[in-house]
Chains A and B, each alone.
Chain A
Amino acid sequence: MRFYEYESRRIVESAGIPVTEYGFCRTADEARAAAERIGGPTVIKSQVLTGGRMKAGGVKFADSPEEAASHAEEILQLEISGHMPVGVLVDPKAEVEQEYYAAVLWDGRAKRPMMLFSDMGGIDIEEVAEQHPDHVGRGHLSNLHPVPDFRAKEVVAAAGGLTGRELTRATPILARLAQLQRDYDMTLAEINPLARLSDGSFVALDAHMEMEDEAVPRQTKKLAKLEIEVDEPRELYEPSDFERNVKAIDEADHRGVIQGKDHGFDGNLGLVIGAGGGSLTLTDAVRSQGGRPANYAEIGGNPSVAKAKGLAMEVLKKEGVEKIAVMMSIVSNTRVDIVARGVIKACLALGKDPAETITVFRIPGAWEEEGAKILGKYGIEFKDRSTSMWEAAGEAVQKVQGAG
């Protein structure tokens, strides 16, 4: 789950990390008021979930509350990468002595969270790590013990040899960031830049948080306390009708699982495929043999006939789709005969001839003999495991190209 910058600020602040006197504003008037309260020059930042705000003109500097209001007015109507802002952040333009980088993220190989700190903040950390490795400190955390301050201290001390007040002030911030990463199930908790102001104090100038999707259900109450709505859609792109419809069908029926995606797919071969790994393999196999998938899909678990039918119907209803390929890796708990019934019913419901519409049916496994009987009745050849996934995909591609 992605957060808007203003939400990340709230989270970071709740963890005891100093933030600016920022204001989150939904109107130009609110922006003016925030700038007045802050006093002095401000930065007005679009609140969208995509990056590239600076380049798109979504970050502007203002010298007066009036200017802040006019920038806010502009930015609130500025679409960035297909997204409209939910508001603007009004930040004081800080008098920064130095910028640092602080983050806690998962190290999958170590299977532990890892702290990162650098005294070269504000820029791309991967570049810094490559070109100035002695300015980047790293340290892992045990999953079984409380977050130890000394670990944070070690990491900060390793970043360009930080010592003195810089060390003693940055350490608790990194430690609290590590605690935050744990408490909020963040896959990424990043502050870039962490700024040291002229009075020596540290403040988070920008915060980027990402929460693990699987953990969201157990975090909703905590987030609600910070007035962060979990239900609000946070996709990087707007789901299509196809995607939404498939999701609705899946959610309405607990039997089995279906999923459909078509963002970035514009082909003419509808895919009714599974399971997870099988879907990836089959999508590759179709494309590698010159096919153009209209969508990606996954069937998993033990779906009802209605669910299988629902997915197939949505695929067939897509513009430009006349034919589908029904293929899966060998199934153990998905019933071949149930899927067969579902896809045939989808064709019948749309007034289509199943034998013409289904280019290939390749699902070996549980109840396959029964499935073969059903398909046979409708003139569809059942392909068992002696037809490889690659071959099945190739046949589907040929049939679609032959027709076109």
Chain B
Amino acid sequence: MARTSEQHGVFIRVDVDEQVRGDAELAAKLEEVCPVDIYANADGKVEVVERNLDECILCNLCVEAAPPGGVVVKKLYDGTELRR
């Protein structure tokens, strides 16, 4: 039985805190800094582009762009996190 399925976020999950999700400035900044387009600026709201999650290169730029705890990158394969 072979099924072809497109799975996103197999290795990486990104948690954006509710409190900063609506921060227009942050939304713009995240879209700019992420080298693999995980973040999109959806009318001033932070949107996570699911299909790019697994491209995360663990550069930490998103974590640093947000206030502490605003953005957390979770490595699903070992449970550790990138957070500030």
Contacts and interface: CB of A to CB of B under 8 A. Distances in A.
A345 B7 contact: yes
Interface in B1-25: 1-7, 10-11
B36 interface: yes
B54 interface: yes
A338 interface: yes
Given A304-B36, A373-B78, A349 B55 contact: no
Contact of A374 (B4, B11, B55): B11
A304 B56 CA distance: 9
B11 A349 contact: no
Interface string A337-348: 010010011001
A374 B2 contact: no
B10 A348 contact: yes
Given A348-B7, A348-B10, A351-B5, 11 more contacts: A335-B57, A341-B10, A341-B11, A341-B54, A345-B10, A350-B2, A350-B3, A373-B77, A374-B11, A374-B77, A376-B77
Contact of B57 (A306, A338, A377): A338
A138 interface: no
A305 interface: yes
Contacts of B78: 373, 377
Contacts of B11: 341, 374
A352 interface: yes
Contacts of B58: 370
B1 A305 contact: no
8 contacts: A306-B55, A338-B57, A345-B10, A348-B7, A349-B7, A351-B2, A374-B11, A377-B77
B74 to A, nearest CB: 13
Nearest to A344: B10
Main secondary structure of the interface of A (DSSP, over half): helix
A373 B78 CA distance: 7
Interface of B: 1-7, 10-11, 36, 54-55, 57-58, 75, 77-78
Interface string A278-309: 00000000000000000000000000111000
List the 5 shortest-distance A-B pairs measured between CB atoms, nearest first: A377-B77, A351-B3, A374-B77, A373-B78, A351-B2
A345 B2 CA distance: 14
Interface of A: 304-306, 335, 338, 341, 344-345, 348-352, 370, 373-374, 376-377
B76 to A, nearest CB: 8
Contacts of A350: 2-4
A256 B5 CA distance: 24
Contacts of B54: 305, 341, 345
B55 A304 contact: yes
Nearest to A335: B57
A389 B1 CA distance: 33
Nearest to A370: B58
B10 A351 contact: no
Nearest to A367: B58
Given A341-B11, A373-B77, A351 B57 contact: no
A349 B6 contact: yes
Pick the most buried of A305, A344, A350, A377: most chain B CB atoms within 10 A of its CB.
A305
A305 B7 CA distance: 13
Contacts of B57: 335, 338
A352 B2 contact: yes
A307 to B, nearest CB: 10
Nearest to A313: B4
B9 to A, nearest CB: 11
Nearest to A345: B10
A368 B6 CA distance: 26
A227 B58 CA distance: 51
A351 B36 CA distance: 26
Pick the most buried of B1, B5, B77: most chain A CB atoms within 10 A of its CB.
B77
Contacts of B10: 341, 344-345, 348
A341 B6 CA distance: 14
Contacts of A348: 5, 7, 10
Given A345-B10, A373-B78, A374-B77, A351 B55 contact: no
